[in-house]
Amino acid sequence: MINILLITVIVFTVLVLIFYWYAKYSAKSGFSIDENNNQIPDSWEKRFSIFFKLQNIIILFLGILIGYLINNSNFF
**Region 41-68 average pLDDT:** 92
In this prediction the pTM is 0.85
- The model's pLDDT over 14-40, given as tens digits with 9 standing for 90+, comes to 999 999 999 899 888 887 887 887 888
3-state SS, one letter per residue, for the chain: CHHHHHHHHHHHHHHHHHHHHHHHHHHHHCCCCCCCCCCCCHHHHHHCHHHHHCHHHHHHHHHHHHHHHHHHCCCC
